[in-house]
Amino acid sequence: MKIFIDTANLDMIREINSWGILDGVTTNPSLIAKEGVDVRTRVKEIAEIVDGPVSAEIMSVTAPEMIAEAREVAAIHPNINIKLPMCVETLKAVKVLSAEGIKVNVTLIFSAHQALLAAKAGAAYVSPFVGRLDDIGTYGIDLVAQIMQVFQNYGFATEVIAASIRSPAHVLDAALAGCDIATIPYDILKKMVQHPKTDEGIAKFKADYEKSVKN
Ligand code: G3P
């Protein structure tokens, strides 16, 4: 499974990139706003750090505007992909942009029907929001599994990004469902490294080593 980080924070991106496990980055307007920066400047900075796709969300609402804005943003750096929210105008825009070789991540996916339509229009990625479905009392990960099944049934090349990831268990669930990509917040990536038994084992090996060196 490919691992993306879901943030617009450069320090976090640099750190996780240094681990050697980072395949890409997703941003959204909320994450960019948290950094208090200009979207185009920030996605360019990110694209220069990470050797992989960087999703930049664009805010136009009609297909012609989406297409024009997407062309401009995609031209900033070859790593930049366009992120558009699921709606009819997005489907129209995806059809045009994908024919031009501009990759689109269709976001805010909350049903397999939406994912099927996005894939048919030519989306490179779809992003089902796992945590936000859990928030309303459903099992978000079931949607990821459904989309994987539908895409496998028909051989769609569209990759599925498990988004709105809130815990290491969500990442594991996505991996068990065979999801192509998980986009993961920084604090969850840090938690994935840790295990109390690992820390305990390291401390014990260190203590035993120091005892043996002294003897
Ligand atoms: O990738 C989508 C993500 O940024 C949304 O996460 O936690 O706001 O639902 P959340």
215 pLDDT higher than 80: no
Backbone angles phi, psi at 2, to 5 degrees: -80, 145
What confidence score (pLDDT) does residue 10 get?
Answer: 98
Stretch among 31-40, 68-77, 170-179, 184-193 having the lowest mean pLDDT: 31-40
- DSSP, collapsed to helix, strand or coil, labels residue 206 as helix
Q: What's the one-letter identity of residue 130?
A: V
What confidence score (pLDDT) does residue 81 get?
Answer: 96
Q: Parallel, antiparallel, or unpaired for β 159-162 and 181-184? A: parallel
Pocket probe for ligand 1: among 27, 34, 54, 132, the residue whose CB has the most ligand atoms within 8 Å is 132
Pocket probe for ligand 1: among 9, 55, 129, 130, the residue whose CB has the most ligand atoms within 8 Å is 129
Compute the distance between CA of residue 91 and CA of residue 105 in angstroms, rounded to an integer.
11
Centre of ligand 1 to C-alpha 64, Å, is 27
Centre of ligand 1 to C-alpha 51, Å, is 22
Instruction: List, chain by chain if needed, residues with CB within 6 Å of any ligand 1 atom.
Output: 6, 26, 28, 129, 131-132, 163-164, 166, 183
Q: Which residues pair with 107 in a beta bridge?
A: 85
- DSSP, collapsed to helix, strand or coil, labels residue 93 as helix
Compute the distance between CA of residue 90 and CA of residue 34 in angstroms, rounded to an integer.
25
Centre of ligand 1 to C-alpha 27, Å, is 9
80 pLDDT higher than 80: yes
What confidence score (pLDDT) does residue 99 get?
Answer: 98
Structural tokens at position 131: 């945590």
Q: What is the pLDDT of residues 35-48, one digit of tens each?
A: 999 999 999 999 99
Yes or no: say if 99 and 120 are a contact pair by the CB < 8 Å rule. no
Compute the distance between CA of residue 180 and CA of residue 148 in angstroms, rounded to an integer.
9
What is the set of active-site residues? 83
**How close are the terminal C-alpha atoms of the chain, in Å?**
47
Q: Which residues of 102-113 are buried (b: 16+ CB within 10 A; e: fewer)?
A: bbbbbbbbbebe
171 pLDDT higher than 90: yes
Instruction: Please name the helix (run of DSSP H) or strand (run of DSSP E) that holds residue 183, with its range, or none.
Output: strand 181-184
What confidence score (pLDDT) does residue 109 get?
Answer: 98
Q: Which residues pair with 6 in a beta bridge?
A: 26
Atom 7 of ligand 1 has which residue's CA nearest to it? 164
Atom 9 of ligand 1 has which residue's CA nearest to it? 164
Centre of ligand 1 to C-alpha 165, Å, is 7
What confidence score (pLDDT) does residue 214 get?
Answer: 80
